[in-house]
Structure 1
Amino acid sequence: MQPHLIVFTDLDGTLLDHHSYSWRAASPAMAKLAANGIPLIFNSSKTAAEMRQLQSAMGIRAPFIVENGAAVVIPAGCLGRREEQVVNFGADHAQVWRALMVQRESGAPFRGFSDMSNAELAGHSGLGEAEASRARQRLGTEPLIWQGSSQELGQFRAALEHAGLRLLQGGRFWHAMGRFDKAEGARFLLQQYQEQHPGQPMVTIALGDSPNDQRMLEAADIPVVIRGLNSDQLHLPSQKHPMRSLKPGPEGWNECVLNLLFEYGY
C-alpha cells in the first residue's frame, strides 16, 4: 500500500529564500504535492497572520503551526473542521513579554519585535511594512535581536530557563518562548491525519535549516536539512539518516521533495 505522505516545512531559509522570501524555485515540487493531495504544513517562527497571507499567495489550504510551535491553526474545511480551530501550547505572549521585561530591568541588552515600529522591523528583516505588521502579531513568542556579548547571552538564556522559558536561534532572530517546540504541533497534526485515514500507513517528511528545526526534524520519519546559514549546527541522530540538500533555500527544497516523491511512487 502506498503510504500517505505529510510534509512539514520551515519557511525562512527553507521553503522561502533567505534574502528575497521567494518560494518560486520550489513551485514544481509544491505543484506535485498539491496534485497528489499531500498536505504541505508550514511549521515556522512566523505568525498566524503571516502564514494566512502566504497560504493565500501560494493557493494552499492546510493546517499550519505558528511561532515555533506556540499554536496549531486548523482552517475551516481542513481535517473535518467546520470552523477554524486554534490549539495553543505553552506560555502565551503576555507571559513571555513579562519575563523579558524582568531581564531588561536587570540590564539584559536586547530589542524585541514589540519594541519596534513596523518601519524599524522592516529595516531589520527586509520585510515590507505591511508584512512587518503581520510579523508583530504574536500568540506565544517574542523574536529579538541580541545586543550584548556571548557571555551575557549565556546568562540571559539561563535566566529565561529559570523563568520557565526557552531561547532558540532562528535564521535571523533569537526567539524567547515557552517550553514547547515545533515537534509538538507536528505530532498533534499527525494524530489528526491518522484519525482521518485509519489503517493507512503514514510517512512524515520534515524540512528545516536551523537549530530551531532540530526537534521537528528528529520527530519526522524523513528529516531533510536544507543548506543555510546555520544548517551546519543541526546534528541529527545517525539512525535517522537525514537527507541534506546541496542547494540552499527553495532550490534545495524543490530537489529534495521531488526526489522523495519519486522514491515513494508519486
Structure 2
Amino acid sequence: MPKPRVIIFSDLDGTLLDHDTYDWAPAKPALERLKASAIPVVLNSSKTISEVREVRERLENQSPFIVENGAAVVIPANCFDSSEEQVKRFGAPRTEVLALLAELRKEGFEFSGFADMSPAEISRHSSLSEAEAELARDRVATEPLLWHGDEESLAAFRGKLEAAGFRLVQGGRFLHAMGDFDKADGVRFLLEKYRQQDPTGRLVAIALGDSPNDQHMLEQADIAVIVKGVQSDSVVLPSQSRAIRSLKTGPAGWNECVLNLLIEYGY
C-alpha cells in the first residue's frame, strides 16, 4: 500500500516555538525529516503576515501559511500552479474590529489593544523585541487585547462582541477580537487545494496546537496533536479524529510526536 500524502498544520507560539523564548531548535530533527520527505508544514498562527514571513525565513519554510487565527491564507508564488503570491482573506477587516472596540470602550469596558500600545509596550508584555512588536502591530483582521476588568465584565464584553457578529478568542498571551472566522477556515481551504493536486490519493492531515484557539484547527485534522503547554489542559480532545497529547512541552513535544507519526506512516 503506497504511503499517504501527509500535510502538517502547526500553531507557532507554545507549539513549534517555545512559549517564553520563541526557540524552535528542539523541533529541528523533525523539521529536517519533513523537509527531506517534501512534506508541507503549514504554519497556522495568530501572528501577522509580516511576523510569519520572518519565522518562515528562519525555518526555511516555503509552504502556504495561515495568519491571525485564520484571517487570511497566503499562498506563495509557484505554489498550486500560480505564478504570483495569492492572499485569500476571511471575515471582517481590522478596521471594523477597531470600530466596535472603540464603541465598547465608551461603554466602560477596560482593555488595551495593540493599536493602543507602542512597540515598547507590546515588547514588555510579549517578550518580543521592539522590531518584532512593530511587525505584530501590522494586522489585517484581528486585534490582540490585554484585559483589565474582572471576569464578570469579560463575560459581558464577550457577549457584546458575539451579538455584533464577532468573536473573542484566548491565545497564548492575549485575547483576540476578530470576525467570524477561525484557524479551521484556512485548513479547509488549503486541504481542498492539496486534494485537487491528487484527487485519488490518500491524504493525512496532522494538526498541532497548544491552546483553545487551536481547537477548531485540531478538529479538522485526521490526527490532532495537543502539545503540552500553559493552556493545553483547556484543549478538548477532538472526538471525530485521532488525538494525541505530547509528554514534552513546546517544540520538544512537537518534535517527538511528529517523528513518531512519520515513522508510523513510513517516512
Q: State the SS of the aligned residue for 2:230.
A: coil
SS at match of 1:148: coil
Q: CA deviation at 1:236?
A: 2.2
- Paired residues of 2:43 and 2:66 also in contact (CA < 8 A): yes
Q: What residue number does 1:27 align with? A: 28
Q: Confirm or deny: 8 A CA contact 2:16 2:24 kept in the other structure.
A: yes
Q: Which amino acid aligns with 1:162?
A: A
Identity of aligned residues (%): 58
Question: Please, which runs of 5 or more residues in structure 2 have no aligned partner?
Answer: none
The separation in 2 between residues aligned to 1:102 and 1:16, in whole angstroms, is: 35
How many Å apart are 1:150 and its aligned residue? 0.3
Q: Which residue of 1 aligns with 2:128?
A: 127
Q: Tell me, yes or no, if the aligned pair for 1:112 and 1:142 is still in contact at 8 Å.
A: yes
Q: Unmatched 5+ residue regions in structure 1?
A: none
TM-score (ref. length: structure 2):
0.98
Deviation at 1:239, TM superposition (A): 4.6
Deviation track 1:148-207 (CA, whole Å, cap 9, x = no partner) reads 000000000000001110001011100000010101100100111111123111000000
The corresponding residue for 1:205 is: 206
Number of matched pairs: 266
CA contact (8 A) 2:66 2:74 kept: yes
1:152 maps to 153
The letter for the 2-side match of 1:106 is E
Residue type matched to 1:241 in 2? R
Let me know the Cα RMSD of the aligned residues. 0.8
Give the Cα separation in 1 of the matches to 2:210 and 2:58.
Answer: 23
Equivalent residues of 1:96, 1:177 under 8 A apart = yes
Give the counterpart letter for 2:181 in structure 1: F
Runs of 4+ with deviation above 3 angstroms: none
TM-score norm. by structure 1 comes to: 0.99
Query: In the aligned structure 1, how far is the partner of 2:78 from the partner of 2:151?
Result: 47
Tell me the alpha carbon deviations over residues 44-82 of structure 1, each in whole angstroms, 9 at most, x when there is no partner.
100000010111111111100000000000011222221
Preserved CA contact (<8 Å) 2:47 2:67: yes
Q: Give 1:1-266 correspondences, 5 Å limit.
A: 1-266=2-267
Q: Is the 8 A contact 1:61 1:78 kept in 2?
A: no
How far apart, in 2, do the equivalents of 1:163 and 1:105 lie? 16
Residue identity opposite 2:169 in structure 1: L
